[in-house]
Amino acid sequence: AARSEDDLRSPICCILGHVDVGKTLLLDKIRQTNVQAGEAGGITQQIGATYFPAEAIVKKTASLSDKGKMNIKVPGLLIIDTPGHESFTNLRSRGSSLCDIAILVVDIMHGLEPQTLESLRLLRDRKASFIVALNKVDRMYGWLPRPNGPFRASLKVQPQATQDEFAMRVARTITEFAEQGLNAELYYNNKKDVRKVVSLVPVSAVTGEGIPDLLGLLVGLTQKHMTNSLMYLSELACTVLEVKAIEGLGMTIDVVLSNGVLHEGDRIVLCGLDGAIVTTVRALLTPQPMRELRIKSAYVHHKSIKAAMGIKICAPDLEKAIAGSRLLVVGPDDDEESLMEEVMSDIATLHKMVKKSPRGVWVQASTLGSLEALLEFLSVSKVPVFDISIGPVHKKDVTRASTMLEKAPDMAVMLCFDVKVEKEAQDLADEVGVKIFKADIIYHLFDAYQAHAASIVE
């Protein structure tokens, strides 16, 4: 396939950081959307994806210089939002494994926090280039906002005490990075190789200050250092993020296409609850540019789509698709059977990962990703797991979970994350005495289980 500097694919940028540092709000500010306000408990529990075309980035960086527009060679930028809550290590890991570059968001008032350090480890393991957004500068005492402008223009007009506080907080952050063995500098003082010295970009997701600086640096970084890895490659790389029923479209999957091209009519292979699914792409949809894939919107139809992009795929037989699965395309020389085996090896790994205990709780979640997260959380909390399932809770799940009534009644519990419980399933559970806990925030499940276990011991 063609490989040329004039045919770059869009890079993928992953946003990582500790819970509530402002990752989603930062994206909202750039997109002019309100995704964060709609999240349960204000926390992100899924991977998101938003495409920013080059023209939009040019516009948003215009205020940086009076010398003229930035010259952007990549077609655009796909930005992946990840959860910062400690339970979602797996989604951070998945997000970071998709990315070419990353923005590590740090709350300037808090400095480096546990999931900041975890994210740093993920990025170092992948040898990924990243920049740091030092967010929430508007929270410093006496801050005078200059909405959406370049950061240095804002800093200049701050009262002396605020400038002093800023200098103190930056110095502290630099020390904390040094403790992790990393050199860091404010980006405008960083004259060295940005891959060797971490650039700190002060921003505010509330006032928009510093966002031109952040985008400018990001694009500059990709173009300077990544042209080679962004040259268009034909080999397809695609991951399923979510499986969702959409009114008027039926069951759909949200995917991130990180390399190659997808076409309407492609034959695709992915993991399913009852084995590999082989089906044909009926429609390739994307949200409008600068709209979040995980939010329902007026979709745009495409005949084919080039990486990188967040895509909604409509196809028959997706009911049992599993999020987190890889998606493969059957090429002219490919053996469908071997692709089916290849894709299902991923889920076998998950089943091996769960240490199933003869006495333990039942765990059920909407996606492979959230199931992994829940299992990780339970493992750390030392709650034994009897068995797992993905998708809505049916009668047969309750029947299987009810075997615990004899063995360990306090564990005759089903922890259900983000799944529907069928009415007959709930009726059966009530009848036999299996306790079903449902929640849309992972750690609330654990709290409910603990309260229940304590009440039984009494």
Interacting residue ranges for Na ion, rule: CB under 5 A: 20, 42-43
Closest approach of Cβ 110 to Mg ion, in Å? 16
The answer for residues whose C-beta is within 8 angstroms of residue 395's C-beta and 6 or more apart is: 422, 424, 425, 428
85 binds, among ligand GTP, Mg ion, Na ion, none (CB under 5 to 8 A by kind): ligand GTP
Q: Nearest Cα to 230, choosing from 238, 239, 221?
A: 221
Which 248-267 residues touch ligand GTP, going by CB under 6 A?
Answer: none
**Span near ligand GTP by CB under 6 A; candidates 20-28, 69-77, 282-290, 434-442:** 20-28
Closest approach of Cβ 405 to ligand GTP, in Å? 37
Here the tokens at position 308 are 């990188």
Strands 435-439 and 413-417 come out as: parallel
> CA 234, 235, 237, 243 torsion: positive or negative?
positive
Residue 139 sits in the site that holds ligand GTP (CB under 6 A): yes
Q: How far apart are CA 289 and CA 297, in angstroms?
A: 11
Residue 79 sits in the site that holds ligand GTP (CB under 6 A): no
The answer for residues whose C-beta is within 8 angstroms of residue 32's C-beta and 6 or more apart is: 290
Q: Tell me which of 10, 33, 44, 389 binds Mg ion, using CB under 5 A.
A: 44
439 binds, among ligand GTP, Mg ion, Na ion, none (CB under 5 to 8 A by kind): none
Residue 21 sits in the site that holds ligand GTP (CB under 6 A): yes
Question: With respect to ligand GTP, which residue has the nearer C-beta, 103 or 354?
Answer: 103
Question: With respect to Mg ion, which residue has the nearer C-beta, 9 or 294?
Answer: 294
Question: With respect to Na ion, which residue has the nearer C-beta, 42 or 409?
Answer: 42
Q: At what angle do helices 89-98 and 114-125 cross, to 10 degrees?
A: 40
269 binds, among Na ion, ligand GTP, Mg ion, none (CB under 5 to 8 A by kind): none
Residue 84 sits in the site that holds ligand GTP (CB under 6 A): yes
Strands 304-306 and 261-263 come out as: antiparallel
Residue 206 sits in the site that holds ligand GTP (CB under 6 A): yes
Number of residues interacting with ligand GTP: please give it, by CB under 6 A: 22
Residues in the chain, total: 458
For the beta carbon of residue 174, count every other beta carbon within 10 angstroms: 17
The single-letter code of the amino acid at 32 is Q
Question: With respect to Mg ion, which residue has the nearer C-beta, 23 or 94?
Answer: 23
Q: How far apart are CA 73 and CA 187, in angstroms?
A: 22
Q: Tell me which of 42, 114, 147, 275 binds ligand GTP, using CB under 6 A.
A: 42
Q: Nearest Cα to 204, choosing from 149, 141, 142, 129?
A: 149
Closest approach of Cβ 429 to Mg ion, in Å? 33
Closest approach of Cβ 36 to ligand GTP, in Å? 4
Q: Tell me which of 8, 12, 16, 43 binds ligand GTP, using CB under 6 A.
A: 43
Angle at the Cα of 419 from the Cα atoms of 249 and 48, rounded to 5 degrees: 60
Closest approach of Cβ 82 to ligand GTP, in Å? 7
Strands 267-270 and 261-263 come out as: unpaired
Residue 85 sits in the site that holds Mg ion (CB under 5 A): no
Q: Nearest Cα to 162, choosing from 140, 146, 139?
A: 140
Which 11-40 residues touch Mg ion, going by CB under 5 A?
Answer: 23-24
Q: How far apart are CA 61 and CA 217, in angstroms?
A: 10
Q: Tell me which of 10, 36, 129, 158 binds ligand GTP, using CB under 6 A.
A: 36
Residue 23 sits in the site that holds ligand GTP (CB under 6 A): yes
Residue 138 sits in the site that holds ligand GTP (CB under 6 A): yes
Closest approach of Cβ 408 to ligand GTP, in Å? 34
Q: Nearest Cα to 393, choosing from 430, 357, 360, 339?
A: 430
Closest approach of Cβ 205 to Na ion, in Å? 11
Residue 412 CB-half CA count within 13 A: 20
Question: With respect to Na ion, which residue has the nearer C-beta, 43 or 186?
Answer: 43
Question: With respect to Mg ion, which residue has the nearer C-beta, 105 or 221?
Answer: 105
Q: How far apart are CA 280 and CA 193, in angstroms?
A: 46
Binding site for Mg ion (CB under 5 A): 23-24, 44
Binding site for ligand GTP (CB under 6 A): 17, 19-25, 36, 42-44, 83-85, 135-136, 138-139, 204-206
